[in-house]
Structure 1
Amino acid sequence: MHISFLLHNGYAIGGTVRTTYNLARCLAEQHDVEVVSVFRTRERPVFDPGPGVRLRHLVDTRGMRAPTDIAPEHALPAQVFPRADGKYPMYSELTDRLIGEHLATTDADVVIGTRPGLNIHLARQTRRGPARLGQEHLTLATHSRRLKLVLRAAYPKLDALTTVTEADARDYRRLFRLPGVHVESVPNSVPEPDVSPSDGTSKWVVAAGRLAPAKRYDLLIRAFSQVVAERPDWRLRIYGGGREHDKLRALIDERKLYNHVFLMGPTHPIEPEWAKGSIGAVTSSLESFGMTIVEAMRCGLPVVATDCPHGPAEIIRSGVDGTLVPTGNENAVASALLTLINDDELRRRMGRAALADAARFDPAHVGARYESLMQELTGRTGRGLHRTRGSLLSGAYAVKDALRNTAHGALQSGRTA
Structure 2
Amino acid sequence: MKITFLIHNVYGIGGTIRTTLNLAAELADRHEVTVVSMLRHRSYPRFAVDPRVTVVPLVDLRADAADASDPQLHQPAEVFPTAEKRYKQYSRLTDRRAREYLRSCDADVIIGTRPGVNVYLARFAPPRALRIAQEHLTHDTHTKKLRAQLAGQYRDLDAVVTTTEADAAVYRTRMRLPGVRILAIPNSVPDPGPLPADGGARVIAAAGRLVRAKRFDLLIEAFTDIAAKHPDWSLRIYGAGADKDRLQGLIEEQGLGDRAALMGAVSPIEDEFAKASIVASASDAESFGMTLVEAMRCGKPVVATDCPLGPAEIINDGVDGRLVPMGDRQALAVALCDLIADEPARHRLGEAARAAAGRFDPAPVAHAYEELFGDLAATRSARAWQRRKARWRGRAGRALRHLRR
TM-score computed with the length of structure 2 as normaliser: 0.91
- What letter matches 1:240 in structure 2? G
- What letter matches 2:74 in structure 1? A
SS at match of 1:9: coil
Tell me the residue number matched to 1:112: 111
* Cα distance in 2, alignment partners of residues 145 and 269 from structure 1: 35
Conservation of the 8 A alpha-carbon contact between 1:317 and 1:323 = yes
- What letter matches 1:34 in structure 2? T
Conservation of the 8 A alpha-carbon contact between 1:129 and 1:381 = no
Tell me the residue number matched to 2:314: 315
1:49 offset after TM fit, Å?
2.1
What pairs with 1:8-407 in structure 2 (closer than 5 Å)?
8-63=8-63, 69-196=68-195, 201-381=200-380
When residues 259 and 98 of structure 1 are mapped into structure 2, their CA distance, relative to the original with a 3 A threshold, is closer
Residues matched between the structures, number: 381
Q: How big is each residue's C-alpha offset from its partner over 1:15-56, in whole Å with a ceiling of 9 and x where there is no partner?
A: 111111010000001100000111111110001221210001
SS at match of 2:8: strand
Deviates more, 1:315-324 or 1:43-52: 43-52
Q: How big is each residue's C-alpha offset from its partner over 1:291-348, in whole Å with a ceiling of 9 and x where there is no partner?
A: 0000000001000000000100000000011000000000000000001010111111
SS at match of 1:259: helix
* Cα distance in 2, alignment partners of residues 75 and 234 from structure 1: 50
- What letter matches 2:216 in structure 1? Y
1:182 offset after TM fit, Å?
0.7
Conservation of the 8 A alpha-carbon contact between 1:200 and 1:351 = no
- What letter matches 2:39 in structure 1? F
When residues 198 and 178 of structure 1 are mapped into structure 2, their CA distance, relative to the original with a 3 A threshold, is farther
- What letter matches 1:55 in structure 2? V
Q: How big is each residue's C-alpha offset from its partner over 1:55-109, in whole Å with a ceiling of 9 and x where there is no partner?
A: 01111111169x9733112222211111011111121111111101111111100
TM-score computed with the length of structure 1 as normaliser: 0.89
Conservation of the 8 A alpha-carbon contact between 1:210 and 1:241 = yes
* Cα distance in 2, alignment partners of residues 46 and 342 from structure 1: 38
* Identity over aligned pairs, percent: 53
* Cα distance in 2, alignment partners of residues 75 and 223 from structure 1: 46
1:115 offset after TM fit, Å?
0.5
* Cα distance in 1, alignment partners of residues 50 and 370 from structure 2: 18
SS at match of 1:101: helix
1:156 offset after TM fit, Å?
1.2
* Cα distance in 2, alignment partners of residues 241 and 75 from structure 1: 27
RCO higher in structure (CA 8 A, sep ≥6): 1
* Cα distance in 2, alignment partners of residues 219 and 142 from structure 1: 21
* Cα distance in 2, alignment partners of residues 48 and 68 from structure 1: 25
* Cα distance in 1, alignment partners of residues 265 and 116 from structure 2: 27
Conservation of the 8 A alpha-carbon contact between 2:207 and 2:237 = yes
Unmatched tracts of structure 2, length 5 or more: 382-405
When residues 251 and 378 of structure 1 are mapped into structure 2, their CA distance, relative to the original with a 3 A threshold, is same
Conservation of the 8 A alpha-carbon contact between 1:110 and 1:378 = no
Conservation of the 8 A alpha-carbon contact between 1:195 and 1:275 = no
SS at match of 2:204: strand
Conservation of the 8 A alpha-carbon contact between 2:60 and 2:67 = no
SS at match of 2:58: strand
Unmatched tracts of structure 1, length 5 or more: 383-417
* Cα distance in 2, alignment partners of residues 146 and 40 from structure 1: 28
* Cα distance in 2, alignment partners of residues 14 and 108 from structure 1: 25
* Cα distance in 1, alignment partners of residues 23 and 67 from structure 2: 35
